[in-house]
Amino acid sequence: MDPILAGDLADLPELLDETRHAAAQVLAGLNDRPVARPSDGNGADSTVPAVGVGLRGALREFQQRWEPKLSGSAGPRFLGFVTGGTTPASIAGDWLTSVFDQNAFTTMDSGAAELERETVGWLGQLFGLTEHTGAFVSGATMSNFVGLATAREWLGERMGISVAQSGVGALGQVHILSGAPHASIYKGLAMLGIGRDQLRLVPTQSGREAIDIRRLTDALDALDGHPSIVVANAGTVNTVDFDDLRAIAELKQRYPFWLHVDGAFGAFAALAPEHARLVDGLAAADSVCVDLHKWLNVPYDAAVQFTRRRDLQVQVFQNTAAYLGIPTGAPDFVHLVPESSRRLRALAAWFTLTAYGRAGHREIVQRNVAMARRLGERLTASGLVQLLAPVRLNVVCFTLADRPTAERVQALTHAVAESGETFLTPTVYDGKPGLRAAFSNWRTTDTDLDRIYDAITAACIGLDQES
């Protein structure tokens, strides 16, 4: 054994203690770490070490060279994209995932996959998807991909073919309808050989991102009995708008379509009784995407996909030689998802659900929503900004009250980021440039809300002084 590697093995308990100490210091300083640290693009151009420095040396080098460049995105005031942090139990679960280093692709040699099944079952209960089966994937993009791949196979089934065997060319034209889909839906269609251009946007209700049910009905009617895929959105990223899932599901009685619901973060509305009506009808979906590294507050990378047709999913993702036949019963995860070998990413979710339960995670959702509403009210009252949409759940979408030009909104985005106090991401909604503040971190408190409000209003005022 390499002597440096052997030395690390001999010192492993102490080295892990030092790493744990370093981690605890980072977490203790999270509140003061600059929220965003845009990359300067320098520093990636160096030579691979010829001889190593051991774990202790590597830790020191990381702390000197790279740690200062990492953002406080796990902290309470990072409101860009939809981000979320990591609960204490999820960090422990994530660490132990690496310690055990299980390959959760099969049940042949370990109970790891069973733990994953238990966790998927718990998540199904949280979201009311108890008739669905599911699996962990690396993020909502992959979850949407698996849902769309299964939908594609269903289209084939309607024609008496298997797309997985015959190729997508055998399908002919594919009809996909959606109101305000996430970018990852287009990416999924590109990966599936269906093509981004096949997605037909159905008009949304006026002033909303929720699909216009009458226009969807017209679009389905025009297909003249041809099967299609409808992608419903349960929480759009701009304004967190929700399609009427129950009304869409009812259309299945009249038209043949696969209903995929992208509930990446919006599905968490189901955890709180006062918000659950937003996802009423979710259980009627044929496939559902839920992200976990966002609102469940587990580390990257984790999401879950749910389906009602595991048999079709297996047709697509089976990893056995054709002569062995298609796996039946409860197929191993290797037959259900794009990956073959895969880490036990369910463990972090298992830890946080065991540690905090339904009540703990409901409280995070409720607090984040309350904060988004309060920020929306306070910003409106300041007169400096105007909301571009009502705060329906956990995102405040707003723009400058005075001259909301693209340049001024961009300057505001930069000024907020440079404050180091909070981080918001820009958007264009209804043709208007704006900003989004997305609350999904378990750490965010009232004190943080004050700091966020102060940072945004100071940046608005600074802008007016400059121009």
Ligand X SMILES: *Cc1c(COP(=O)(O)O)cnc(C)c1O
Min dist CB 90 to ligand X, Å, is 16
User: Is the CB of 124 or the CB of 188 nearer to ligand X?
Assistant: 188
User: Is the CB of 110 or the CB of 425 nearer to ligand X?
Assistant: 425
User: Is the CB of 178 or the CB of 413 nearer to ligand X?
Assistant: 178
User: Is the CB of 182 or the CB of 335 nearer to ligand X?
Assistant: 182
Min dist CB 184 to ligand X, Å, is 4
User: Is the CB of 242 or the CB of 317 nearer to ligand X?
Assistant: 242
Sequential DSSP letters for 149-173: HHHHHHHHHHTT--HHHH-GGGG-S
- The answer to whether the beta carbons of residues 169 and 195 sit under 8 Å apart is no
Distance between CA atoms of residues 306 and 143, nearest Å: 8
Min dist CB 65 to ligand X, Å, is 27
User: Is the CB of 85 or the CB of 227 nearer to ligand X?
Assistant: 85
- The answer to whether the beta carbons of residues 227 and 177 sit under 8 Å apart is no
> Tokens for 237?
């990223």
Residue linked to tokens 């994209």? 81
Min dist CB 201 to ligand X, Å, is 16
Distance between CA atoms of residues 341 and 374, nearest Å: 45
Min dist CB 319 to ligand X, Å, is 23
User: Is the CB of 235 or the CB of 299 nearer to ligand X?
Assistant: 235
Min dist CB 236 to ligand X, Å, is 7
Distance between CA atoms of residues 227 and 151, nearest Å: 10
Rounded alpha-carbon distances, angstroms, from residue 449 to 268, 368, 461: 21, 10, 18
| H/E stretch holding 93 | helix 88-100
Distance between CA atoms of residues 94 and 376, nearest Å: 34
Min dist CB 366 to ligand X, Å, is 19
Any idea what DSSP says for residue 271? Answer: G
User: Is the CB of 146 or the CB of 344 nearer to ligand X?
Assistant: 146
- The answer to whether the beta carbons of residues 122 and 347 sit under 8 Å apart is no
Spatial neighbors of 264 by CB under 8 A, at least 6 apart, are: 82, 140, 143, 182, 235, 289, 290, 291, 294, 303
- The answer to whether the beta carbons of residues 202 and 212 sit under 8 Å apart is yes
Residues that bind ligand X (CB under 6 A): 82, 139-141, 144, 182, 184, 235, 237, 262, 264-265, 291, 303
Min dist CB 239 to ligand X, Å, is 12
Return the exposure string of 236-264: e unless at least 16 CB atoms fall within 10 Å of the residue's CB, then b.
Answer: bbbbbbbbbbebbbebbeebebbbbbbbb
Min dist CB 440 to ligand X, Å, is 10
Q: At what angle do helices 446-466 and 346-382 cross, to 10 degrees?
A: 50
User: Is the CB of 15 or the CB of 391 nearer to ligand X?
Assistant: 391
